Amino acid sequence: MAIASISVSETPLVLYTLRRADDALILGHRLSEWCGHAPMLEEDMALANMGLDLLGQARELYSYAAKVEGRGNDEDKFAYLRDVRQYRNLLLLEQPNGDFAQTMVRQFFYSAYADLYWRAMMKSSDATLAAIAAKSEKESAYHLRHTSEWMVRLGDGTEESHARAQAAIDHLWAFTGEMFEADASERGLIDAGISVDSASLRPQWLKTVADVVDEATLALPKNDWMQQGGRDGRHSEHLGHLLSELQSMQRTFPGAAW
């Protein structure tokens, strides 16, 4: 017997907050998959620290979404009782860990964005989101620093590491466009000063990314085709498997408290 998924009243602010919460949870979950399996013990520590930062962000954002929605949902119901079509995270973040290069490139692309995004969101007219942004900005800034160092080492390390890093960039590039999209439901929030227009962050993001990639002796793809759909619940096949693992206890033992 499996428990039914919850329904969510996706008012613009609820939807907006859930999208960012899902980003943090899914990426944090991916990082947690590394625990015990990293290339070196010191990096095991680093990956878990980044994962814990993201899990913390997810919990605060889910709790806020629950409060705004006001229908008795909570962080665990959002995380454990929504199906793949109800998840709103960026496609980039659900991509499998792959090798260490793929994990680092994924984290680097996102952290370079999150650093700018949270810094801008500190000025949000929504006090809770501004407070979450203030905390998350410091975390993202460190993630960007750590992943930038790795980008340079992988790119300018050995022939093998260079090839792996370049392959990861080429593979993940098409998922980066989605970070800078805003649909109609977000437009109103941008106008109200609650959200920032992500599109305005892209030039700075591109500069940050290009500088590091250049130092790493790597190259950004010329191809500008970008995948979309995560924000509307149209995901890659990978997310369903992630969720079946993440949600297995809640689905197997409906209603139990742990």
Partner 1 sequence: MATPNTPLWEVFIRSRNGLAHKHVGSLHASDATMALQAARDLYTRRGEGLSIWVVPSSAITASDPADKGMMFEPAESKIYRHPTFYEVPDEVGHM
Partner 2 sequence: MYTQALNTSDADDRHVEDAARAAAFQARIDAEERIEPNDWMPAAYRKTLTRQISQHAHSEIVGMLPEGNWITRAPSLRRKAALLAKVQDECGHGLYLYAAAETLGASREELVDLMLSGKAKYSSIFNYPTLTWADIGVIGWLVDGAAIMNQIPLCRCSYGPYARAMIRVGKEESFHQRQGYEIMLTLARGSEEQKAMAQDALNRWWWPVLMMFGPPDQVSQHSDTSTKWKIKRFSNDELRQKFVDATVPQAQYLGLTIPDPGMKQNAEGHWEYSSIDWDEFKQVLAGNGPCNRDRLAARRKAHDEGAWVREAAQAYAEKRKHRQLAQAAE
45, two tokens: 């520590």
Residue 42 interacts with partner 1 (CB under 8 A)?
A: yes
Among 160, 183, 191, 232, binds partner 2 (CB under 8 A): 160
What is the spatial distance between Cα 173 and Cα 177, in angstroms, rounded to a whole number? 8
What is the spatial distance between Cα 219 and Cα 162, in angstroms, rounded to a whole number? 11
Residue 215 interacts with partner 2 (CB under 8 A)?
A: no
Residues from 227 through 246 that contact partner 2 (CB under 8 A): 245-246
What is the spatial distance between Cα 57 and Cα 142, in angstroms, rounded to a whole number? 14
Minimum Å gap between C-beta 113 and partner 2 is 23
- Do residues 218 and 162 lie in contact, with contact meaning Cβ atoms separated by under 8 Å? yes
The one of partner 1, partner 2, none whose footprint includes residue 146, by CB under 5 to 8 A per kind, is partner 1
Residue 143 interacts with partner 1 (CB under 8 A)?
A: no
Among 154, 179, 189, 239, binds partner 2 (CB under 8 A): 154
Residue 192 interacts with partner 2 (CB under 8 A)?
A: no
Residue 76 interacts with partner 2 (CB under 8 A)?
A: yes
81 vs 129, which CB is nearer to partner 2? 81
Residue 192 interacts with partner 1 (CB under 8 A)?
A: no
Residue 49 interacts with partner 1 (CB under 8 A)?
A: yes
Residue 162 interacts with partner 1 (CB under 8 A)?
A: no
- Do residues 156 and 166 lie in contact, with contact meaning Cβ atoms separated by under 8 Å? no
Interface with partner 1 (CB under 8 A) = 40, 42-43, 45-46, 49, 145-146, 149, 153
Interface with partner 2 (CB under 8 A) = 25, 29, 32-33, 35-45, 48-49, 51-52, 55-56, 58-59, 62, 75-76, 79-80, 99-100, 152-154, 156-158, 160-161, 164, 245-246, 248-250, 253, 256-258
